[in-house]
Structure formats: structure tokens, C-alpha cells
Amino acid sequence: MSGHIAVVSNPYAGRGRGGTAAEVALAHLRALGAEVRAYEGSSADDTHRLTSEALAEHPAALVIVGGDGTVTGALDVLCASDVPLVLVPAGTGNDLARALGLPRDDPAAAVELALHGVARPMDIGEVHSDGRSTLFLTVAALGFDAKVSDRTNRLRWPKGALRYYLALLIEVARLRPTAFRISFDGSEAVEMPGTLVAVGNTASYGGGMPVCAGARPDDGWMDTVHVAPLGRLRLIRLFPLLLTGNHLRRPEVVHRQVHEVEVSAPDLVVYADGERVGAVSCRITQRPSALRVMVPVAEGGQHD
């Protein structure tokens, strides 16, 4: 690969893993003789600004060290460029890396794809809600799972994973069906009350939960999963199946592939790539082959 390689990092990503991963990645590229230009920021705004600055210098590849949220924050400028992305996973979930078969625990192997990988086009999802559009990489969550994320963000205690589990318990106790109205690919909206709706560009969210099992990031389709209204016990029993992707076989779960979906509900909350991106109503579309990501050579010819 001719030309320099830009490396954008957030040392605080993944609860501090970003800093260590960036050091390893930079050292490895330089040891391989690559010309490297490093950019370091501490926030999503920094990542967006630094990515724009780095792309303006026309690198051969742009490395982002961080999690899915780090990449999502710069998706608009990444998609507007033809420079391929190299992801060095350093987040808490790393679901994009999982979907693309990227090394998740080896920053040196991940960053070496800048030199020896192959560029794989991937689709990008887009949520239109609250008068704005937000791009996303993995899964848009609507319903129970989005409410758990929302509750987690609003809790001030406890810290870490315990806060998520407390939010989960609160939302299970408050469980009520959501009065979804859904339209697929421009069809007339129909009443589809349920527990949750997930719209997946890739299969998993939350660090490997394959809610949209089988979804592929380069097939031009979005996978939608609708879970019918469930009581607390039935929801708890469904969780082990969610962890393995076997929930799609259940009669209370409907799975279909679409190009566009519109969803509304009075209490609708929409999360994508772990961030709140809308409420009450949304339209979710896709930008086919909008981003090129460097993947291992074997993965470049596969559709995971």
C-alpha cells in the first residue's frame, strides 16, 4: 500500500482499552515500515473532527481505534470518502468486528489489515426520527431492549455492568406490550403490538447477542425481528434462545428481510449502535455498499 496511514484513536474507548490498543497498533505499523500519522481525541466530537482532518490529507487507509460507537460518530465523513476503514476494536461490544471477522483481541493483527487486508463494501443503516437522520453500523433496537438501554443511561447508581442489570430488572418489572404500528417497504401500516422490534444491518448487538441472527452487512437487506407480546416469565425464558440465535424458530418471533421499515408507538424509544437516536416514530432505511472496510483476505470473499 502506497501513501501514509492515518490512525485516529480515543484512549478512553472501552473503559481505557483504547489507549493501550492504539499504542500497540501504532508501534506495529511503524515496525512494518509504514508511514503513519496519528490523531488522538477524547470524545465523539473529537473523533468526528479528527477523522475529517485525517481524510483531508488523502491517506491510503484510515484506522480507527475504538468501539462501534467511535466509528458511528464519524460515519457521515467516512461514507463520503472512498478511503477504506481499518477498525482496531477497543470497545465494550465490538459487534461490527464480530460481523466482519476482524481480530477482536489482537490490535497488531487488526491494524495489519491496513497493509495486507482486502476492502469489503458494507451497507449502512439510517434512522430518520425527530427531524434528523442518524447512520448506524449494526442493529437498531425498538422496544424492551431500547428501554433497558435508556434506563441504564438514566441511572446514576450503581456503576459498571451492575447498572445495566438493575435497569433490566426495572424494565422487566414494568414490562408492558408496545403498541407498534409497522410498515414494511411502503406497505400500509398495521398494528403489531409486541415486546421488541430489532432492525439489523448485522446480526448482533450488546457484545454478541444475535438478535438478528443471519443478518449480513453486505447483502442489500435489513433483517427485522418482531417479538410478540410476552409476559415476564416467557421473556425470561426467551433470553437463553436470544443468546444463541435460536429465538427465530419460536412462533412468537417473526423475522423478515426488508429495504425500509417504518415504526411508531406512543412510548417508542429508538437506539442504534448503543445510542439513543429517536422516539415516537422512525423510518429506517439503508445505504447499500456505503462504506469499505479492510478485512482479512479469507473474509473478503465471504458473506458472514
DSSP 84: P
126 near 40, Cβ under 8 Å? no
Buried b (16+ CB within 10 A) or exposed e, 248-258: beeeebebebb
HSE of 2, CA atoms in CB hemisphere, 13 A:
0
SS3 151: helix
Type and span of the H or E element at 199: strand 196-200
Helix residue ranges per DSSP H, the chain:
13-31, 44-56, 68-72, 75-79, 95-100, 107-111, 113-116, 144-154, 161-173, 232-244, 297-300
Q: What is the pTM of this model?
A: 0.91
pLDDT in tens, the chain (304 residues): 568 999 999 888 777 788 899 999 999 999 999 999 999 998 889 999 999 999 999 999 999 999 898 999 999 999 999 999 999 999 878 999 999 999 999 999 999 999 999 999 999 999 999 999 999 999 999 999 899 888 888 888 887 668 878 988 999 999 999 999 999 999 999 999 999 999 999 999 888 889 999 999 999 999 999 999 999 999 989 988 988 999 999 999 999 999 999 999 999 999 999 899 999 999 999 999 999 999 999 765 544 4
Please give the pLDDT value at position 299: 63
The contacts of residue 228 (CB under 8 Å, 6+ apart) are 193, 194, 195, 252, 253, 254
Of 164, 228, 235, 236, residue with least CA distance to 197: 228
User: How far apart, in whole angstroms, are the C-alpha atoms of residue 9 and residue 239?
Assistant: 35
Q: Which residues pair with 198 in a beta bridge?
A: 141, 225
Please give the pLDDT value at position 152: 86
